[in-house]
Amino acid sequence: MPKNAFYAQSGGVTAVINATAAGVIQTARAHRDKIGTIYAGRNGIIGALTEDLIDTSQESDEDIAALRHTPSGAFGSCRYRLKGLEENKAQYDRLIEVFRAHDIGYFFYNGGGDSADTAHKVSQLGDMLGYPIICVGIPKTVDNDLPITDNCPGFGSVAKYVAVSIREAAFDVASMALTSTKVFIMEVMGRHAGWIAAAGGLAAEKEGDPPQVILFPEVPFDEAAFLARVRRYVDEQSYCAIVVSEGVRNTEGKFLSEAGTKDAFGHVQLGGVAPMIANLVKDKLGYKYHWAVADYLQRAARHIASKTDVEQAYALGKAAVELAIEGRNAVMPVIVRKSESPYSWEIGSANLAEVANVEKKMPREFISEDGFSITEACRRYLSPLIQGEDYPPYVNGLPDYVTLKNAAVPKKLKTTFEL
Amino acid sequence: MPKNAFYAQSGGVTAVINATAAGVIQTARAHRDKIGTIYAGRNGIIGALTEDLIDTSQESDEDIAALRHTPSGAFGSCRYRLKGLEENKAQYDRLIEVFRAHDIGYFFYNGGGDSADTAHKVSQLGDMLGYPIICVGIPKTVDNDLPITDNCPGFGSVAKYVAVSIREAAFDVASMALTSTKVFIMEVMGRHAGWIAAAGGLAAEKEGDPPQVILFPEVPFDEAAFLARVRRYVDEQSYCAIVVSEGVRNTEGKFLSEAGTKDAFGHVQLGGVAPMIANLVKDKLGYKYHWAVADYLQRAARHIASKTDVEQAYALGKAAVELAIEGRNAVMPVIVRKSESPYSWEIGSANLAEVANVEKKMPREFISEDGFSITEACRRYLSPLIQGEDYPPYVNGLPDYVTLKNAAVPKKLKTTFEL
C-alpha cells in the first residue's frame, strides 16, 4: 500500500493557490501506485495538529479541475507558524502522531517564507525524531519575496490586476480632469517590499504614461518631491495617477498608515495610506482627488489572473508531487527563467534550507533614481509575469468558482492538541 | 450638404460610454448623405461653449471601433450644467454662435440626469431662439437613476464588477477566517441610491452566501442591528462579507463618511465609510477586518464589463443617430425590457421633457425587510444586466485601450466665452 499524503495551504491566499492544489491532487491521482489518499489540512497546518483532515478523494475530478480557476484557499489557510523543534517538540510529536495514525508519508506545504520554514522543520522529522517523511514545500505568495524561484505564484496575478486597474482608472481621471478629479490614488499591498506597487508601473509604456507616480516602501516618503511631481503632471497632462504601497514610510521609518488617524467613532484608524496621500494633495495643491484601496480585491481577482501565473502555479503543484515520488525530501520546486524575451521558463528545485528565512528584496536598480517609477530592468523582469489571460467560466454573469465538499476524515486519535 | 453633428460626453464617465460614442460615430459614418462631420466637444459641453471641437473624421475606422472596448470618455467629459434659458441666455446664444459657425444641425448629449436636462434646454433652441437643431439625449450613468429606460448604460458593468469582486474577496476571507480576517468590507459608489450596493447582492445566490450584509443609503444605519448580524454570520459561517454604499447615512440623515475624520497630517478626511465600519467592527466585536474602497476602479473596469451593458450602450448610440435622421428632436433612446426571463430588450424612445430632472429611486421592495439584503424582485431586475462577458483585446498582458488623436477643429470665431 502506498503512503498517504498531507497537503496544506498556508498564509495569505492568492488567486492561484488553488491551481497549485489542482496540480498536486491531479498529479497524485495519476500515480495511485505511489501515493494513496491526499488528505488536506483544514485551515493549513492547524488541520494536522488538530487531526482535522479533509478527504480529497471524495471530491470529483471535475471539482478538482475547477480549483484551477477558483481563487482563495479551498481547504482553508492559516497564519500559524511552527516553533523550532527545540522550542516546542510537542508540536512535532503531535504531527508524527497524526501522520502515523493516517499513514501519511508525504507532506506538501504550500506557502510563503514562513511556510518554507515550517516545511523545512517538518522535513527533519525523519532524522530528528525517527518518523520518515518526504517533505516538499511549494511556493506561493503575492509578496514575491521568496529567494531562488524566478517569482512566486500569486504575484503575477496581483501584478496584472494592479496594472490593469491603474490603467483603467487613469483613463477615467484623464477624461474628468478639466472640471473635476485631477489626482487619483490607488493603494496596493506590499508591507515590506514594493513588488506589487512596481507592477503598477507596467501600465506606463512610455514616458509620461500613467501611473506618473509610484510610492515604494523602499523609498522614504519625501513630501516636497512628491508634491512637486504631482503638480508637474497636473500642469503638463492635466491629471496624475498614483500607485502607493501600503508599506510606504516616512523619513523616520514609520508607516504613514500607522501615523495615527481617528475616525468618526473616535477609534484609531489603521490602514489607509491612500486617503492620507489624497488629503495631502488636496491640502497642499488644492486638487480634487479620488482614491481607492484595492486590498483583498487584488489578490482574489481570479477573473483577471495572469495566464502565466496560473500555469506556473499548476506546474509547481505537479512538480512537487513528482519530486516526492522521486523521494526528494526537503526540497521546493521553483520557477527557473530560461530566457527573458521571449519569456521561457521551466521548473527546477531548491533545498528548503536555502529558501527558509531568506527574503528576496526588490533590487534598488528596479526603482528609478528619483524614486517615483520603475526602471527598464524592472519592466523586463515583471512584464512576462502578467502575460496572458485565463478567464474562469461564468454562469449567470458571475465566475463559477467551486466550493468543495471538504468532508472530514474520521478521527483515529483519542488525544487532542491545544494550539 | 448635410448638416454636421455635435457629440459630447457629460458627467462621470463609465466603462461603456465610449461604446455609445462608437455607436454614434459608426452609424453617422454609414449615413454620410444625412449627417456631415461629427464634431466632439472637448470636455463635453465646455467644448461647444469655448469652440473647442474635435474633428472625429480624422480618426480611423479602426480607432473608432476600438472605442467600443475602451473605458472612460475618449473626448473628455465635464461636470458643468447649463443654466435655464431665462437665467443665462448668453450660454445659449454662444451655443448657437458656435453651432452656426460649424454648420451643426444635430446635437447628441451623452450623460445622466443633468445632461438630459441640458439636452432638453438645447432642444428648445429652435423654438425659443430660432436656431433649428435636432437634439437627442443619450442615457449614461452608473447611478442607474434615469427614468423610463430599463437601466442606464454604465450601471450594468459596475454591477458586474461589484458582484464579481465581493464574491472573490469573500472566498478569500472565508479561507483566512480561522486565524486571521473574519470581516471584509467593500465600499461602493452610490451617493443617493443603493443600486450599486444592491448589485453586490447578486453574488449571494442562496441564503447565507456572501455578501451577508449590504448597507444601503436608503436604510438609516442601525449600529446595533448591524453588529448583531455581523456577529451572527461570524458565529455561523466563521466570516462575514459586507458591501457598504458610500451614501450610507446615520439616523440623523448625515453621511457616515462626512462625520469628520482627521488623518495623520491633521486634515479632515472625506470619504471612506469602509474604514469607519471596519473600526466599528473591530472595536465592538473584536474581529480582525480588511476593507477595500473600489472608487473609480469600479466604473472604469472595462476588463470585466457586462456584455449586455456594452451591447445596450452601443445600441443607444446607434439609435440616437437614427432618431436624429428621422428628424426627432428632444428625444432620448431608451432600453425597453420586453421580457425578464429570458431577458430580452429593444430600443424605444422617450421625450427629454419626461426624463429631465426625474430621478429613479430604488423601490423599497428591492430591499429585504431587515434592510441588509436584496429581494427576489431586485434580483430579477438586476441579474440580466450583468449577463455576458465582453473582454477587450490584450497586448503585452494589458488591455489595449485606444487613445484618439482628438485633433482640434480650427476655430472660426474671433469671439471667446467665459465659462
Q: What percent of chain A has pLDDT over 90?
A: 87
pLDDT tens digit sequence for A135-182: 999 999 999 999 999 999 999 999 999 999 999 999 999 999 999 999
In this prediction the pTM is 0.97
- Residue A295: closest C-alpha in chain B: B292
pLDDT at B125: 87
Q: What is the mean pLDDT of residues A259-287?
A: 74
pLDDT at B271: 58
Tell me, yes or no, whether A412 lies in a domain: no
Torsion angles phi and psi, residue B327, rounded to 5: 85, 20
Query: With an 8 Å Cβ cutoff, are A301 and B71 in contact?
Result: no
The answer to whether residues B16 and B130 belong to one domain is yes
Q: Which of A21-25, A375-379, B112-116, B346-350 has the lowest mean pLDDT?
A: B112-116
**Is-catalytic flag, B143?**
yes
The answer to whether residues B197 and B266 belong to one domain is yes
pLDDT tens digit sequence for A93-139: 999 999 999 999 999 999 998 899 999 999 998 888 899 999 999 99
- Residue B184: closest C-alpha in chain A: A296
Determine which of A17, A18, A261 to mutate to test the interface with B (most B C-beta atoms within 10 Å): A261
pLDDT at B86: 85
pLDDT at A249: 93
Check pLDDT > 70 for residue B264: no
Q: Of B300, B317, B347, which one is at a domain's C-terminal end?
A: B300
Q: Please state, in angstroms and rounded to a whole number, the distance separating the CA atoms of residues A136 and A110.
A: 9
The answer to whether residues B69 and B79 belong to one domain is yes
Tell me, yes or no, whether A411 lies in a domain: no
Secondary structure of residue B31 in the 3-state scheme: coil
The answer to whether residues B313 and B345 belong to one domain is yes
Query: With an 8 Å Cβ cutoff, are B303 and A301 in contact?
Result: no
Determine which of A158, A173, A176 to mutate to test the interface with B (most B C-beta atoms within 10 Å): A176
The answer to whether residues B246 and B185 belong to one domain is yes
Secondary structure element (H or E) that encloses residue A136, with its range: strand A134-139
Secondary structure of residue B305 in the 3-state scheme: coil
Pick from A274, A294, A296: which is nearest to B172 by CB? A296
Tell me, yes or no, whether A407 lies in a domain: no
Check pLDDT > 90 for residue B216: yes
Q: How many CB pairs under 8 A join A and B?
A: 255
Query: With an 8 Å Cβ cutoff, are B296 and A290 in contact?
Result: yes
Tell me, yes or no, whether B146 lies in a domain: no
Check pLDDT > 70 for residue A276: yes
pLDDT at B212: 98
CA distances from A64 to A53, A406, B110, B356 (A): 17, 11, 47, 53
Q: What is the mean pLDDT of residues B173-185?
A: 95
pLDDT tens digit sequence for B41-63: 999 999 999 999 999 999 999 99
Q: Of B258, B282, B300, which one is at a domain's C-terminal end?
A: B300
Pick from B175, B282, B304: which is nearest to A304 by CB? B304
Query: With an 8 Å Cβ cutoff, are A13 and B176 in contact?
Result: yes
Tell me, yes or no, whether A233 lies in a domain: yes
pLDDT tens digit sequence for A297-306: 999 999 999 9
Pick from B13, B181, B394: which is nearest to A176 by CB? B13
Spatial neighbors of B123 by CB under 8 A, at least 6 apart, are B107, B133, B135, B329, B330, B352
Tell me, yes or no, whether B174 lies in a domain: yes
pLDDT at A20: 98
Query: With an 8 Å Cβ cutoff, are B78 and A179 in contact?
Result: yes
Q: What is the mean pLDDT of residues A241-246?
A: 97
Give the count of domains, chain A.
Answer: 2
> In chain A, what residues touch B267 (CB-CB under 8 Å)?
279-280, 282-283
Pick from B78, B259, B396: which is nearest to A178 by CB? B78
Domain range for A315 is: 4-141+302-357+390-399
The answer to whether residues B180 and B289 belong to one domain is yes
pLDDT at B259: 58
pLDDT at A171: 98
Burial B1-36 (b: 16+ CB within 10 A, else e): ebbbbbbbbbbbbbbbbbbbbbbbbbbbbeeeebbb
Query: With an 8 Å Cβ cutoff, are B261 and A259 in contact?
Result: no
pLDDT at B20: 98
Q: What is the mean pLDDT of residues A220-247?
A: 97
pLDDT at A265: 52
Pick from B74, B181, B304: which is nearest to A303 by CB? B304
On the question of a cis peptide bond just before residue B342, with omega within 30 degrees of 0, the verdict is yes
Q: Of B261, B284, B300, which one is at a domain's C-terminal end?
A: B300
Check pLDDT > 60 for residue B72: yes
How far does the CA of residue A215 sit from the closest CA of chain B (Å)? 17
Please answer whether residues A311 and A25 qualify as being in contact, where contact means their C-beta atoms are separated by less than 8 angstroms: no
Query: With an 8 Å Cβ cutoff, are A301 and B276 in contact?
Result: no
Average pLDDT, chain B: 94
> Running DSSP on this structure, what letter comes out for residue B255?
B
Average pLDDT, chain A: 94
The answer to whether residues A294 and A310 belong to one domain is no
- Residue A255: closest C-alpha in chain B: B264
Half-sphere exposure of A385 (CA within 13 A, CB side): 32
Query: With an 8 Å Cβ cutoff, are B77 and A176 in contact?
Result: yes
Q: Which residue did the predictor score with more confidence, A242 or A124?
A: A242
Residue A396 is placed in which grid cell? 449567470
pLDDT at A260: 52
Determine which of B81, B141, B176, B240 to mutate to test the interface with A (most A C-beta atoms within 10 Å): B176
pLDDT tens digit sequence for A323-377: 999 999 999 999 999 999 899 999 999 999 999 889 999 999 999 999 999 999 9
Q: What is the mean pLDDT of residues B320-337?
A: 98
Q: Give the pLDDT band (50/70/90) at residue B261.
A: low
How far does the CA of residue A326 sit from the closest CA of chain B (Å)? 31
Q: What is the mean pLDDT of residues A202-226?
A: 96
Please answer whether residues A151 and A385 qualify as being in contact, where contact means their C-beta atoms are separated by less than 8 angstroms: yes
Pick from B265, B296, B302: which is nearest to A184 by CB? B296
Check pLDDT > 70 for residue B411: yes
Check pLDDT > 90 for residue B407: yes
The answer to whether residues A248 and A312 belong to one domain is no
Q: Which of A200-204, B66-70, B175-179 has the lowest mean pLDDT?
A: B175-179
The answer to whether residues A293 and A326 belong to one domain is no
Helix/strand/coil (H, E, C) string of A257-317?
A: HHCCEECCCCCEECCCHHHHHHHHHHHHHCCCEEEEECCHHHHHCHHHCEHHHHHHHHHHH
Query: With an 8 Å Cβ cutoff, are B169 and A297 in contact?
Result: yes
The answer to whether residues A236 and A327 belong to one domain is no
Burial A374-408 (b: 16+ CB within 10 A, else e): bbeebbebbbbbbbbbbebebeebbbebbebeeee
Q: What is the mean pLDDT of residues B248-266?
A: 73
Active site residues of A: 143
> In chain A, what residues touch B299 (CB-CB under 8 Å)?
172
Query: With an 8 Å Cβ cutoff, are B78 and A267 in contact?
Result: no
How far does the CA of residue A12 sit from the closest CA of chain B (Å)? 7
Q: Please state, in angstroms and rounded to a whole number, the distance separating the CA atoms of residues A87 and A91.
A: 9
The catalytically annotated residue of B55, B61, B114, B143 is B143
Query: With an 8 Å Cβ cutoff, are B180 and A79 in contact?
Result: yes
Query: With an 8 Å Cβ cutoff, are A300 and B171 in contact?
Result: yes
Q: Please state, in angstroms and rounded to a whole number, the distance separating the CA atoms of residues A98 and A76.
A: 19
Q: What CATH number is attached to the domain comprising B164?
A: 3.40.50.460
- Residue B343: closest C-alpha in chain A: A396
How far does the CA of residue B319 sit from the closest CA of chain A (Å)? 24
Tell me, yes or no, whether A222 lies in a domain: yes
The answer to whether residues A295 and A308 belong to one domain is no
Tell me, yes or no, whether B214 lies in a domain: yes
Q: Which residue did the predictor score with more confidence, A266 or A360?
A: A360
Q: What CATH number is attached to the domain comprising A65?
A: 3.40.50.450
The answer to whether residues B249 and B282 belong to one domain is yes
Pick from B71, B264, B306: which is nearest to A171 by CB? B71
Alpha-carbon torsion, ordered A275, A224, A226, A253, to 10 deg = -70
Check pLDDT > 60 for residue A195: yes
Q: Give the pLDDT band (50/70/90) at residue A316.
A: very high
pLDDT tens digit sequence for B383-405: 999 999 999 999 999 999 999 99
Query: With an 8 Å Cβ cutoff, are A169 and B383 in contact?
Result: no
> In chain B, what residues touch A399 (CB-CB under 8 Å)?
164, 167-168
Check pLDDT > 70 for residue A259: no
